[in-house]
Amino acid sequence: MIASILIGLVVAIHCYIVVLEMFLWEKPAGRRAFGLTPEFAAQTRTLAANQGLYNGFL
């Protein structure tokens, strides 16, 4: 039972990171979570989406 709870926690964390990196990267919530400037977020949007997709597959 403890293992199932921990697995669920890991899944929830990965889903949260996927949403942050793929959809909220340039939004205030995403920039605040990662400490990004608007300019840097715009320049690295494609890289972040790639990272988010990778986290989604994990």
Structure tokens at 12: 């929830």
Residue 57: the pLDDT is 85
Looking at the structure of the chain, the number of domains it has is: 1
pLDDT tens, position by position, 11-31: 999 999 999 999 999 999 999
Mean pLDDT score of the chain, rounded to an integer?
Answer: 93
Structure tokens at 13: 């964390």
> Domain range spanning residue 39?
14-57
Banded pLDDT at 58 (limits 50, 70, 90): confident
- Has this prediction a pTM greater than 0.95? no
Query: Backbone phi, then psi, for 55, in 5-degree steps?
Result: -65, -35
| Ordered DSSP codes for 1-58 | -HHHHHHHHHHHHHHHHHHHHHTSTTSHHHHHHHT--HHHHHHTHHHHHHHHHHHHH-
In a domain, 5, yes or no: no
In a domain, 2, yes or no: no
